[in-house]
Amino acid sequence: MTTGLRYGLLVVEGTVSDAIRVAGDHDFHGVELAIRDSVEDLTDRALQEWQRMCADRGLHLAAHAPSIDLKLDSLNPGIRRESIDQITRCIRRLGPAIEYLTIHTGHVRRFSKLGSLERVTAALIDLATLAAETSLTICVENVFEGSIDELLDYVELANQPNLKLTFDVSHAVAYGGFDPLAALDVLEDVIVNVHLSDNDGTGNDQHLPLGLGVVPVQQVIDRLTSSGFPGFVTVEAVNVQQAGVSADYLHRLGHLAGSGNR
């Protein structure tokens, strides 16, 4: 008996085609593409092939914009401009093809300078406005935010109907220091996507397979199931092998349909 939740898969390493195949083989419902390098490297042919592969497997397609070194609140105008431009290029290149785009702000409250939140908010408004042209939802992911209120600030201050959240449970445990279940109670109405992986609780986001750490995976699934969460629960894995381990965990608990051994 499955939970009724929609499960996606994000694989950090390896090819997109392999991630799509694994997602289909293990009964996932969608794929979140990990865009690590320049979005200009995505050819029309490659994108069309990924769309075809997803359609053949009945998979929804989403994406995660480049995030390393991006800082939407940077005091340096060149760094801030390039950070916004990296995400802008993803929106323009992928917008019509994907269901939502996960982004990072790079904002760390304890290291913020005067005007940091205002700069992030201005950038989010611009990005959401652009994304609205293709009905794309922008989902801000928590990383080093240290409270539930910090996540609410993004949505409430930007005040854009297509600006929502990707809530990363592992980040909340490893970096945030707040209860992810309490966060779901407060934020669920503005969460489109939940990232799920495991870690050992020592302050590192290790992307361990589900069930191998201290993240309350089962409690999160139970909480989302009981509320009828309509978004995606996206399993993050380092590679396709670890994606299979997490998929087997979900199959054993009855959260995915099928045998998981095809």
> In degrees rounded to 5, what are phi and psi of residue 165?
-125, 145
pLDDT surpassing 90 at residue 77 = yes
Distance CA 193, CA 233 (A): 6
Distance CA 131, CA 135 (A): 6
User: What is the pLDDT confidence band of residue 262, given thresholds at 50, 70 and 90?
Assistant: very low
pLDDT surpassing 70 at residue 3 = no
pLDDT surpassing 80 at residue 2 = no
Distance CA 33, CA 35 (A): 6
Distance CA 11, CA 20 (A): 9
For residues 73-86, average pLDDT: 96
pLDDT surpassing 90 at residue 9 = yes
Indicate the DSSP class of residue 208: B
Distance CA 223, CA 185 (A): 9
List pLDDT tens digits, range 94-130. 999 999 999 999 988 777 788 999 999 999 999 999 9
The token pair at 3 is 């939970």
For residues 182-196, average pLDDT: 97
Q: Supply the pTM of this predicted model.
A: 0.94
Q: Which domains does the chain have, with CATH numbers?
A: 6-252 (3.20.20.150)
Place of tokens 């480049």: 66
For residues 189-209, average pLDDT: 93
CA angle 188, 191, 195 (to 5 degrees): 110
Predicted local distance difference test score (pLDDT) of residue 39: 79
Q: Helix, strand or coil for residue 176?
A: helix
